[in-house]
Structure 1
Amino acid sequence: MPSGRVHNLINIGAYSVLAAAALVASRQELIVVTQAQALTFTLGFAVGTFLLSPDLDLAEGRVDSKRHWGILGVLWVPYGLLFSHRGLSHSWVLGPLTRLAYVALMVALVVGLLRYVAPGVPLPEVPQPVSLKVVVPVVAGYYLSQWLHLVADGVRPDHGMKRSSRKIRRR
């Protein structure tokens, strides 16, 4: 299992190859990639690589992703206690969702607290409607970064499925 630094280098290398391939393909008019799509994909990929790594399930220890949060890294300790390393948090579909749900919960708690303590403080709003042209590249970048991490860890896409199917058969 690679270190956090090696995971970051793998993702940076893969992103570089993908970006170069997309640039060449768009110059040859094989694909169309807008600047907004490229930016949102890049943001999703960077967040998945540096801030929301699958290794946050080790957040009670020294984890690169936790350190990238700075002082807010302490917020990931409960996540590390909730999820065992290489358990659900290292699954291909639900693992990335657990981290997004955890961030959403933290944001909701902060917003709720702010509304209670300082009800007059204006809070930023999410622009409506949120376009699929924004959401799809962000989600694609985020999930690709997560999957590269799992591939480097040797986690197969059916990770956890064998244990789940055994539990179902026993009943």
Structure 2
Amino acid sequence: MRRLRLALALATVLLAAACGSGSGPEAPPPPPQAVTAESVGHYCGMTLNEHNGPKGQLFLTGRAAPVWFSSIKQVFAYTLLPEEPKTISAIYVNDMSTAGPDGAPDPAAWIDARQAVYVIEGRFIGGMGAEDAMPFSQRADAESFAQTHGGRVVSFADVPEAYVFAQ
């Protein structure tokens, strides 16, 4: 009888494991949120409205509020630093393909950071007063920007760690 109970218990555990979490299909990622007066940069502790240049936001699984970033390099740093959570459900950056003639990003234009292309190692000064990666939804816009401001065009996965942490 003891063996039967053990076998039934093991079968129940294996059956539950085979069924997955039981929560159904994975929920879609949360949509990007608008920058408000309460949007504070994760690393700098300042409101995002105080900075020029493109911004970033990411969402952690189980957390409704985004983690905000005053620069694009900070978004990359968060994903690379071992001490930061890795339960990222979505990452968004301002789309510089929609920037105005003054070069300011449209505050309502957010794109999936992993789908964007970036101009890195250019001369454009970003939100924290230093050279920053510029995200674009359109490769042609990124290439045109790089011709004007220098730098090179890379994908999210191809942004070098040495670039992100360079002073």
**Which TM-score tier does this pair reach, normalised by the shorter chain?**
under 0.3
Select the structure that is richer in helix: 1
Select the structure that is richer in strand: 2
Higher relative CO (Cα under 8 Å, sequence separation at least 6) belongs to 1
